[in-house]
Amino acid sequence: MPKQILKVTGLKKYFPIKKGFFNRTVGYVKAVNDVDFEINEGETVGLVGESGCGKSTTGNCIVRLLDPTDGSILYTAKDGTQIDLAKAKASEIKPYRKEIQMVFQDPFSSLNPRMTVREIIAEPAMLFKTWSKSEEQEMVAKLMTRVGLRPEYMVRYPHAFSGGQRQRVGIARALSVNPRLVICDESVSSLDVSVQAQVLGLLEDLQQEYNISYLFIAHDLSAVKHISDRIVVMYVGKVVEICETEELYSRPMHPYTEALLGSVPKLIADKSVRKATLEGEVPDPSRPPEGCFFHPRCRYATEECKKCDMKLIPVNPDDPMGHRTTCIRYKELSLKGV
Ligand SMILES: Nc1ncnc2c1ncn2[C@@H]1O[C@H](COP(=O)(O)OP(=O)(O)OP(=O)(O)O)[C@@H](O)[C@H]1O
Ligand SMILES: [Mg+2]
């Protein structure tokens, strides 16, 4: 059995919608709506879904940039202790903060333009330990070399770097505290394809070297294919499918996954798949449809689909942690992979 580093169960994050003079709560944006998944040690899990599906909110709950509404996020620390990050107080989380780091979407806005790269990279490490000037410089130089940046550039400000270089600065910053789990939120989406490949390669090398686990957030499946061991597919705040990467691409068990695969232009091999591309819009998470949230856009939907409860079902009952889907029709459908 692989060792779990993170187990998310029944995670919910609702944002209140306020209206009127008295600022009354008139409803909730159910951004994350009962989400279950797990990350094993040294594993890369891809989290995919269209824009607005709740991917960033999930990541932000794990690092507690947001306080979850309900559910648990069980983290197994380096020393073996377990802590529920969803419920713990800030003071209880503090000792584990450095073990879980985040690399943000936009390297242009997430780096403070008034700080030198040296200060940016050293900042998280300085929170946990006092470093002398020379120790700090040495640490930053090592990290910069490791991520493929020239240490003599540490005196520069972020604007003097390219997008790919800034992303490397963000990675060096996360690495400065020896994290065990790194959440990458669209970390390579803004980079052009060849630079993307270099940064992904760097992330993979670092994983080998330090046994890091990644939660890799992206909105299309092509970005996560090569880096992920397993993939979690989200739709309107719900997980609709979890599966090992190879199998997800070749044997999807949810029409939403099939449609996502169909909307990856590069991967289309035969014309029949092309028909499966996504039409219509993502529903409003404050007023999701009845039953399966995907049924209004699903070309296989039946009356039953308007009543189902969207619980994850193991495709093989003997392997409850293996391939899982919320589609009640998965056995009858023969969905197309790529
Ligand atoms: N602070 C907030 N207040 C109210 N609603 C929010 C807040 N943050 C996010 N939302 C809503 O929650 C839903 C999920 O947002 P989230 O940013 O998690 O999506 P995402 O999957 O990361 O999308 P993208 O791919 O565009 O980054 C969206 O409908 C969004 O409008
Ligand atoms: Mg996002």
Question: What residue spans define the domains of the chain?
Answer: 4-113+180-235
Closest ligand 1 atom, residue 219 Cα: 25
Residue segments in the chain with a per-residue pLDDT below the cut of 50? 266-268, 272-275
Query: Residue 268: what pLDDT?
Result: 47
Give the contacts of 332 (CB within 8 A, at least 6 positions apart): none
In whole angstroms, give the CA distance from residue 338 to residue 249: 6
Residue 34, sorted as left (phi over 0), alpha (psi -120 to 50) or beta, turns out to be left
Give the contacts of 314 (CB within 8 A, at least 6 positions apart): 320, 321, 322, 323, 324
In whole angstroms, give the CA distance from residue 236 to residue 50: 9
Q: Kindly give the distance from the C-alpha atom of residue 32 to the centroid of ligand 1, in angstroms, as a whole number.
A: 9
pTM of the predicted protein model? 0.91
Closest listed ligand to the CA of 49: 1
Query: Residue 211: what pLDDT?
Result: 92
Query: Residue 263: what pLDDT?
Result: 63
In whole angstroms, give the CA distance from residue 220 to residue 166: 22
Q: Is 190 exposed, middle or buried (0-12, 13-18, 19+ CB in 10 A)?
A: middle
Decide the pairing of beta strands 44-48 and 238-244: unpaired
Ligand 1, residues 19, 29, 221: which to mutate, most atoms within 8 A of Cβ?
Answer: 29
Query: Residue 273: what pLDDT?
Result: 45
Query: Residue 108: what pLDDT?
Result: 65
Phi, psi of 134 (to 5 degrees): -70, -35
Q: Kindly give the distance from the C-alpha atom of residue 63 to the centroid of ligand 2, in angstroms, as a whole number.
A: 14
Residue of the CA atom closest to atom 12 of ligand 1? 31
CATH 3.10.180.10 fits 4-113+180-235, yes or no: no
In whole angstroms, give the CA distance from residue 281 to residue 289: 12
Q: Kindly give the distance from the C-alpha atom of residue 248 to the centroid of ligand 2, in angstroms, as a whole number.
A: 22
Closest ligand 1 atom, residue 54 Cα: 18
Structure tokens at 327: 């589609």
In angstroms and rounded to an integer, the radius of gyration of the C-alpha atoms of the chain is 21
Query: Residue 266: what pLDDT?
Result: 47
Structure tokens at 276: 């499966």
328 closest CA partner among 285, 282, 295: 295
Question: pLDDT tens digit string along 72-88?
Answer: 999 999 889 999 999 99
